[in-house]
A = this chain, B = another copy of it.
Amino acid sequence: MATPRPPADRPLRLGVLGCGNVGSRFVELVDTEGQSVAQRTGIGLEVTRIAVRDAAKPRADFPDQAGLEKRLTEDAASVVVDPDVDLVVELIGGIEPARTLVLRALAAGKPVVSANKELLASNAGELLAAAGVAGVDLLFEASVAGAIPLVRLLNESLAGEHITRLSGIVNGTTNYVLTRMSEDGLEYSEALGEAQQLGYAEADPTADVEGYDAAAKAAILAGIAFDADVVASDVFREGITNIGPDDIAFARRLGYEVRLLAVAERTSPPEGETGSSRHPGISVRVHPAMVPQTHPLASVRGPFNAVFLDGAAAGELMVYGRGAGGLPTASAVLGDVIDAAHHLREGGRGRAVRRRAPALTPMLALRTQYYLSIDVLDRPGVLAAVASLFGEHDVSIRSMEQVGLRGEARLLFITHSALEADMQATLRALSDLDVVERVRCMLRIFS
């Protein structure tokens, strides 16, 4: 379907789906900054319709109540096909009805800007294909890491770059918790409680502390960096709930900070596939890691996010900023809207993306160094038994420290580089050992 270009002599009309934290900040931003944006970019913007679930709900924090109310509607389906809407901004969240609405908007020839992490982490391939068929933009900068312009960086600035690895701190809640544990010696539960009080963590923190939020973002980022159709369930995931102040203190003594990392990297092709006939494999994972204190990711503190990129030509790059919050996210949405508006006006459009099925390298094929903390009975011969068990599984110990603990002892190990499969087998064997009370915490070492 050919879409008529909106005339240049009137503002571009935006239909906004959802008016929660991000939506209301976005509408406010367009209302207040619209004129200055028009001066700078030549793009006039106007929010003409706002679809909400309950139009009668009070939205007291919105400055222009009258202006808000006359644009509200409960009929989202009509907004996405409204001939008076040039561009759709999807800020509902969740998969349905967002997915259906976005598909309808694209089919109606309207560009879509979305901040929907869940949707993009599960259906990006389908939606990008629909945008390709319709010949319009689907932009989603705000779906990952808030105001940090990662999507555009990967899609445009680094379009000519061969990215080999992407490593990020993409969850502000867990980074806040780990920073407080590290710098102020708090227990995990104390730091989490504080994060909840400050509004950084939800009452049910599962999505953050178990790594689900980071895994969704890792899927979106890996998809862009490697043009691959990665979804959240493809991502190996471990959370931070087993980490204690001891682990963090030990890491610091060795020159590391503990961070929850999302890593997406190119690997050799999976075994059994010939490398020449296929694109290389990719590994996508989220887990706590020990990051060297001299690495820029170690200096990312509190609720901030950052993504570190290794590029074949560009070398090392990092972007840092606020990964969440209504206003920063609304700012990222506005950047996308201006971009899509330029494309609409000038007849161009964003990059057509052809995504491939990813050749996922299983986690067990990872090779890295490990930190391990176990509680054992404090009796002679225990260390020998434990150490020989590492050796039996081809995991070589690089350093060990013992901490006394009322009748028990805590053993802290750093291994040489080992295969994840071997390390997992070692963990299982350790758990079965009589003298081992508990395998407390395992961290991978980032290098």
Counting CB contacts under 8 A, is A364 at the interface?
A: no
Beyond A313-B331, A315-B327, A346-B349, is A338–B299 a contact (Cβ under 8 Å)? no
Contact residues on A (Cβ < 8 Å of other chain), bracket: 35 or more
- Residue A315 contacts which of B33, B299, B325, B348 (CB distance < 8 angstroms)? B325
Counting CB contacts under 8 A, is A37 at the interface?
A: yes
Q: How far is the CB of A15 from chain B (nearest CB, A)?
A: 18
- A332-365: CB near B (< 8 Å → 1, else 0) gives 1011011100110011110110000000000000
A385 / chain B contacts, CB cutoff of 8 Å: none
Q: In the complex, A319 Cα to B338 Cα: how many Å?
A: 22
Q: In the complex, A300 Cα to B342 Cα: how many Å?
A: 35
Counting CB contacts under 8 A, is A51 at the interface?
A: no
A156 / chain B contacts, CB cutoff of 8 Å: 152, 156, 335, 338-339
Greatest chain B CB density within 10 A among A29, A314, A325, A347 is at A314
- A152-173: CB near B (< 8 Å → 1, else 0) gives 1100111111100000000000
Q: How far is the CB of A303 from chain B (nearest CB, A)?
A: 11
Counting CB contacts under 8 A, is A405 at the interface?
A: no
Q: How far is the CB of A310 from chain B (nearest CB, A)?
A: 11
The reply to whether A313 and B37 contact each other, CB–CB distance below 8 Å, is no
The reply to whether B41 and A351 contact each other, CB–CB distance below 8 Å, is yes
For window 308-334 of chain A, which residues contact chain B by CB distance below 8 Å? 311, 313-322, 325, 327-328, 330-332, 334
Q: In the complex, A41 Cα to B160 Cα: how many Å?
A: 8
Q: In the complex, A41 Cα to B311 Cα: how many Å?
A: 17
Counting CB contacts under 8 A, is A296 at the interface?
A: yes
The reply to whether B33 and A311 contact each other, CB–CB distance below 8 Å, is no
- Residue A320 contacts which of B33, B149, B153, B319 (CB distance < 8 angstroms)? B319
**Mind listing 8 A-B residue pairs with CB under 8 Å?**
A33-B162, A37-B160, A149-B158, A152-B153, A156-B156, A156-B335, A320-B320, A342-B348
